[in-house]
Amino acid sequence: MRKIVSNFFISLDGVVEAPHEWHFPYFSDEMGAAVDAGMGSATAMLLGRKGYDEWAAFWPNQDADDPFAAQLNGVEKYVLTSRPLEEPVWTNSTAVTDDVAERIRALKEQGEGDIAMSGSATTVRWLLAEGLLDELNLLVHPLAVGRGQRLFEDGDSANLELESSETLPNGVLHLRYRPAAA
C-alpha cells in the first residue's frame, strides 16, 4: 500500500503559511537533501486547491533540466477541489471532487511509491481526521513568525509518534512523525 507523506517548513510557533518569506535564510544542502528525500519516493502528489493554483503557476515554467522541477512536473497530481481545474491544466493533474476520502483510499491501494504533499495544513488536518495520513515530515525552523496559518489551529488534535529526529547544522530540526496507534 502506498503512503501519504506530508512535508512542511514550519516555525517554532507552528506557522506554515508563506515559508518563502522566512525560510530561505535557513536553506542548506542538508535541508535540500531532506526535501529531496521527502519527495524522492513519490510517484504522485496530493494538493489542496490553493496550493495547486500557486504551484501550477510556477513549476511548469521552470527549467526542465532542474531535477526538482522535473520531478514535480512529471508525477501524477491529485487536487482536492470543489471546482474544475482551469485550462491549461498542469500536466498529469486530476481534480478529486466527489467521495474524496474513498478516492484517496483507492489511490493508496493503486500503484507504487509514495503520495507526497507539501503544504496545505487544512488538507493535512482532514487527512489525519480521516486516518489517511501516514507520515508527517516537519522541518522546524528556529524562529517564531508570529502570524500566519498554523499547522494545527485551536481545537485541532492529533496523536502522533516520533519516528526520527535530526538536527541540521543550521539549527533546523527534521522531525518525522506517524499517527499513533489508537
Residue-wise pLDDT for 62-113, tens only, equals 888 888 888 888 899 999 998 888 877 899 999 999 999 999 999 999 988 9
- DSSP symbols for 90-136: PTTEEEE-SSHHHHHHHHHHSSSSEEEEES-HHHHHHHHHHT---EE
What is the number of domains present in the chain? 1
Q: Could you tell me the pTM of the whole model? A: 0.90
Q: How far is CA 45 from the centre of its chain?
A: 8
Range of the domain at 147: 4-179
Average pLDDT (113-137) is 92
User: The CATH number of the domain where 30 resides is what?
Assistant: 3.40.430.10
* Unique residue bearing C-alpha cell 491529485: 78
Q: Which of 35, 34, 32, 9 is nearest to 21 (CA)?
A: 9
Quickly state the pLDDT bin for 4 (edges 50, 70, 90): very high
